[in-house]
């Protein structure tokens, strides 16, 4: 299998930056003449051949035309994840992207256990999450980069989601309705609103309901917050014919 790299400037450049060059030379140990697969993050990919490996950079030439190759899910999904502890949030983003989520929206809730008042802190986290998403796309074969949104407050987020444009579901282990009872057959975007480690507050659940979100549960057991998105996307991929 050929290594894959994200390279947005497919048609304008034929040299990797220092970081990518280091990865190709010193981690993957690729040499002149070997093949790699490049994707631009907006749906295109192309095979390339390494032509130069010098001390600073790796150069390449494209083999043939840049092609549009669609590996996106049949369903458009937005994962709205209540901010959770660092490694758990990283995991949610990585696995959500691998399983085909189009957008991941980190949500600041009343019961968040992480700092969220410092904008510079959140900006650094966003850059990290975008890099995790890029690497996940690189690994799983997606040619379109998933969108990672800047963290929003719960009340701001639910007010921006329009009921007519999407199927809006909030996960609640005490709900009387199971996911299998929801009609997901339409072409609307599906929004899954998932709480942090301590779940949503009563006032947040009430606000979500007033904003058009329907409460659902995943079976009889209470899952960890980082398990929920993986379970939802896996179920959805199965019922929509992806698996």
Domain CATH number, residue 41: 2.40.240.20
Residue 34 and residue 17 share a domain: yes
Looking at the predicted structure, is the pLDDT value of residue 11 above 90? Answer: no
Q: How confident is the model at residue 240 (pLDDT cuts 50, 70, 90)?
A: confident
Burial 210-236 (b: 16+ CB within 10 A, else e): ebebbbbbbeeeebebbbbbbebbeeb
Looking at the predicted structure, is the pLDDT value of residue 117 above 80? Answer: no
Looking at the predicted structure, is the pLDDT value of residue 116 above 80? Answer: no
Q: How confident is the model at residue 232 (pLDDT cuts 50, 70, 90)?
A: very high
Q: How confident is the model at residue 13 (pLDDT cuts 50, 70, 90)?
A: confident
Kindly state the percentage of the chain with pLDDT values over 90: 75
State the pLDDT at residue 216.
Answer: 96
Q: Where are the alpha helices (DSSP H) in the chain?
A: 18-22, 86-98, 119-140, 154-160, 202-210, 225-239
Rg (the chain; Cα; Å): 20
Among 23, 42, 68, give the residue marking a domain's end.
Answer: 68
Looking at the predicted structure, is the pLDDT value of residue 84 above 80? Answer: yes
Looking at the predicted structure, is the pLDDT value of residue 113 above 80? Answer: no
Q: Provide the β-strand partners of residue 138.
A: none
Rounded mean pLDDT, 158-162: 88
Q: Is 241 exposed, middle or buried (0-12, 13-18, 19+ CB in 10 A)?
A: exposed
State the pLDDT at residue 170.
Answer: 97
**Nearest alpha-carbon partner for 136 in 102, 176, 109, 177:** 102
- Considering only residues 225 and 56, tell me which one the structure prediction assigns the higher pLDDT: 225
Residue 204 and residue 110 share a domain: yes
Residue 35 and residue 52 share a domain: yes
Looking at the predicted structure, is the pLDDT value of residue 146 above 90? Answer: yes
Residue 118 and residue 100 share a domain: yes
139 vs 134: CA distance, rounded Å:
9
Residue 208 and residue 154 share a domain: yes
Rounded mean pLDDT, 59-80: 94
Looking at the predicted structure, is the pLDDT value of residue 115 above 80? Answer: no
Pairing of strands 44-53, 77-82: unpaired
155 vs 228: CA distance, rounded Å:
21
Rounded mean pLDDT, 120-140: 94
Residue 81 and residue 53 share a domain: no
Rounded mean pLDDT, 45-68: 92
53 vs 83: CA distance, rounded Å:
42
State the pLDDT at residue 1.
Answer: 83
Q: Which of 83-97, 107-121, 157-171 has the highest mean pLDDT?
A: 83-97
Looking at the predicted structure, is the pLDDT value of residue 108 above 80? Answer: yes
Among 33, 50, 68, give the residue marking a domain's end.
Answer: 68
Residue 161 and residue 53 share a domain: no
Q: For residues 213 and 168, is the Cβ–Cβ distance under 8 A?
A: yes
Q: How many domains does the chain have?
A: 2
Residue 169 and residue 106 share a domain: yes
Residue 14 and residue 42 share a domain: yes
Among 68, 85, 105, give the residue marking a domain's end.
Answer: 68
Containing structural domain, residue 224:
77-239
Q: How confident is the model at residue 172 (pLDDT cuts 50, 70, 90)?
A: very high
| pTM as predicted | 0.92
State the pLDDT at residue 243.
Answer: 80
168 vs 175: CA distance, rounded Å:
15
């Amino acid at each position: 299998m050929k290594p894959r790299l994200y390279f947005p400037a497919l048609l304008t450049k034929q040299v990797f930056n220092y970081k990518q060059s280091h990865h190709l030379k010193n981690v993957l140990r690729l040499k002149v003449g070997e093949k790699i697969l490049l994707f631009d993050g907006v749906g295109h990919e192309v095979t390339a051949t390494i032509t130069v490996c010098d001390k600073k950079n790796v150069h390449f030439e494209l083999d043939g035309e840049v092609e549009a190759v669609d590996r996106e899910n049949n369903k458009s999904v937005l994962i709205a994840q209540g901010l959770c502890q660092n490694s758990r949030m990283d995991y949610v983003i990585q696995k959500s992207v691998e399983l085909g989520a189009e957008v991941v929206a980190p949500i600041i809730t009343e019961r968040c256990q992480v700092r969220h008042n410092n904008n510079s802190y959140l900006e650094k986290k966003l850059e990290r999450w975008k890099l995790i998403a890029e690497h996940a796309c690189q690994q799983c074969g997606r040619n379109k980069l998933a969108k990672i949104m800047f963290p929003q407050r719960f009340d701001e987020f639910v007010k921006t989601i329009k009921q007519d444009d999407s199927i809006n579901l909030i996960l609640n282990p005490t709900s009387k309705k199971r996911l299998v009872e929801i009609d997901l057959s339409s072409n609307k975007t599906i929004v899954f609103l998932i709480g942090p480690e301590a779940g949503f507050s009563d006032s947040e659940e009430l606000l979500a309901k007033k904003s058009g979100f329907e409460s659902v549960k995943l079976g009889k057991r209470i899952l960890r917050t980082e398990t929920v998105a993986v379970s939802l996307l896996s179920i959805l991929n199965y019922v929509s014919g992806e698996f």
